[in-house]
Structure 1
């Protein structure tokens, strides 16, 4: 639900251009208000959550996002619209750190659980364009107030479920998860490893945003595909993202998180080079799917690794990796856009692969967060937690 409203921001922009006459620079400013501000403030919410859980930020976040989207549709002036979109971005940012922490607590050691949580966001963002078109396309921008209905329904479900659990004496955090938190508190934060992981995420986000931006123009202008084929390429890239996220969790559960990260960074440069050198739309579409899968194999393992590198600051860890580091790709996208204008999309995509190779090199220096001086193996870690739970 939260990422449904994140996806609603770009979906509303064409309607604003038609109904209100906004220019390209005006809608770019609105996008910056929603996405840029969200990325910057997300680590701040992570720090807040690290001091105290504040689970109310989860429904509060997506409710504020829904209210901001509705206000932007009802706003009478550009600056009212801008402020409402900024509020929506803040709501989206407020949701992620506490929600990621709860997803990790619920899933425990399972990387598939974090993958499923991440794919939920992908599905929400994918549903936004048809949902916005169905409502605003029929009723105009004032109809955007109806976009708040799903958020209200999910908020009622959230509050009702937690109230039901409390009335019956059920704990919303299992004793084992409490023991995990106790065991983690004895660990020190590994800021060096976390810094390398942030660098990997930054260098990953640049080629990802570049590919996401240039896939459709590349298929349309360079390969001579139709507009429907160009749209299909973008859709396949998104589907590949979701499949890669789930596969990354499966690989991490079977062979370890570092294996999933290294596999993704080994395959992704090859796939993007295949896309850049594709001689036909068929080859390009295949390369797009493989690139989406490969680039998202490391996604969920990187989130849990960040939390384990900073066991005393999991909210900050998720806020930086999911928010601030990811936003760098958006900031750098105009640079590769200019390169594509002057030298073509093939050159721009190929240049972004150089950044991805740098990320791959750093990714090979990462290590899993099971300190040998504290626990000899993951199995011994489980046994230590069982002992604590028994006590």
Structure 2
């Protein structure tokens, strides 16, 4: 009994060294994902790509990751596999080598698929590690973990401005070093993960399992949550993939300067992700979900109509507010589906976010048919869909749903 009590007490402790390590792994993984949009201005010129082809590259990356993440998530829930983490990083390394040497559009697509598969494997297992290391601070743990990924994603404009403009496509080869560091970091995490799994399995045999069953309320809430993340991701896809081309065309900026505007949006989102967790603890998860969508609406509507000088502060405000619900969304979904950590990661971080990559394809086609200005106007209305957040059950209601079973 005393041994079991000590084990439970240890599990309630927050393991910060593991949280920061898996956050670093998340950062390195998403840095390699960021290489792909960072290459867009270079590939557009060197391979003479149109906007539709650029959209298909983004689609290949995100759809591979999104479709496979729930699959790996379900597998991780049934049979956690700690050493898939460094293996995932190895797949991304292959993708980096392929991108550096790719002679044409089709080889780029194949290389991107390796990065997508690596990401699909990493995220469910990484989310499980963050959950296991969280102890009693799940909101904070999820913020730490997600900040690593969002920071990695925000690096894309800097990679373009300071690496690929000078080194070109072959500069991608240097990111194999990042992958190598990631393999070392994640191998260390995997050893802790394996040990922790063995400890929890021994404890689980002495405890009764808490059953979880889906009902109509949970299915509706998860479906609506996925749709809201889908809408948020479409907006992000528009800014990340096409805003650089929009301000280059409208204000005649050089590529390097245009990338810094996208970076402001992305890095503000990193801070929004981190502070969203504590704000949700104080004001409620559903309230932060509502605020993150509707609170950004006045600024998204203004963005396509302002001068270049006003674009920067608006991008900062939009990025911070819109992404303040990023980690909150995951924690809210985990409470809707307790015990389904891998599946939740696949559905929210993977499927819903990746389905937003459809926006990259749609926006690319619209840019070729209409204009980049049309894309920015279309994107500006997407956060209004946040009104549907009112239909989600409140935090209190989520608890009542599970207590009633």
Q: Shift in Å at residue 99 of structure 1? A: 0.7
Alignment of 1:211-360 (within 5 A): 211-222=239-250, 224=251, 226-227=253-254, 230-278=258-306, 280-336=307-363, 348-360=375-387
- Whole-angstrom CA distance in 1 between matches of 2:102 and 2:369: 39
For the 8 Å contact 2:61–2:115, the answer to whether it is kept is yes
Match of 2:183 in 1: 155
CA contact (8 A) 1:74 1:142 kept: yes
Contact preservation (8 Å) 1:307, 1:317: yes
If asked which structure has higher relative contact order (CA below 8 Å, sep 6+), I would say 2
Say whether the 8 Å CA contact 1:200–1:360 is kept in structure 2.
Answer: no
1:261–1:363 contact (8 Å) kept in structure 2: no
Cα distance per residue 1:266-317 (max 9 Å; x no partner): 2111221232342x22322211111111110111110122222222432122
39-48 or 80-89, larger mean C-alpha shift: 80-89
Pair 220,163 (structure 1): closer, same or farther in 2 beyond 3 Å: closer
1:22 and 1:111, CA in 2 relative to 1: closer, same or farther beyond 3 A? Answer: same
Residue of 106, 124, 148 corresponding to 2:133: 106
- Determine if the alignment matches structure 1 residue 57 to structure 2 residue 99: no
Contact preservation (8 Å) 2:143, 2:327 = yes
Return 5+ residue gaps in structure 1 as ranges: 377-391
5 Å-filtered alignment, 1:36-185, equals: 36-74=63-101, 79=106, 81-108=108-135, 109-127=137-155, 144-160=172-188, 163=191, 171=196, 185=210
Retained in 2: the 8 A contact 1:262–1:364?
no
Deviates more, 1:55-64 or 1:356-365: 356-365
> 1:193 is matched with which residue: 211, 214, 221?
221
- Paired residues in the alignment total 367
**Structure 2 CA distance, aligned partners of 1:309 and 1:183?**
20
Please give the alpha-carbon distance, in whole angstroms, between the structure 1 residues aligned to 2:108 and 2:242.
Answer: 28
Alpha carbon RMSD of aligned pairs, Å? 3.7
Unpaired runs of 5+ residues, structure 2, are 1-27
Give the corresponding residue for 1:388. none
Q: After TM superposition, give the deviation of residue 187 of structure 1 in Å.
A: 3.5
| Contact 1:9-1:69 within 8 A present in 2 as well | no
1:73 and 1:81 in contact (8 A); partners too: no
Q: Equivalents in 2 of 1:27, 1:281: separation in Å?
A: 25
- Structure 1 range deviating more: 327-336 or 48-57: 327-336
| Residues 91/296 of structure 1: CA separation in 2 closer, same or farther (3 Å cut) | same
1:383 corresponds to? none
Q: Quick one: distance in 2 between partners of 1:232 and 1:130?
A: 7
- Residue 185 of structure 1 aligns to a residue whose secondary structure is coil
Q: After the TM superposition, which of the residue ranges 121-130 and 190-199 deviates more from structure 2?
A: 121-130
Q: Structure 1 residues 108-117 or 6-15, which shifts more?
A: 6-15
Question: Does the CA contact (< 8 Å) of 1:272 and 1:349 recur in 2?
Answer: no
Native 8 Å contact 1:69 1:84 kept in 2: yes
Q: Any idea what SS the aligned residue of 2:149 has?
A: helix
Instruction: Between 86-95 and 227-236, report the one with greater CA deviation.
Output: 227-236
Give 1:360 deviation, angstroms.
Answer: 2.7
In structure 2, the CA distance between the partners of 1:133 and 1:239, relative to structure 1 (3 Å rule), is closer
| Residue aligned with 1:6, SS | helix
Q: CA deviation at 1:194?
A: 0.7
CA contact (8 A) 1:187 1:311 kept: yes
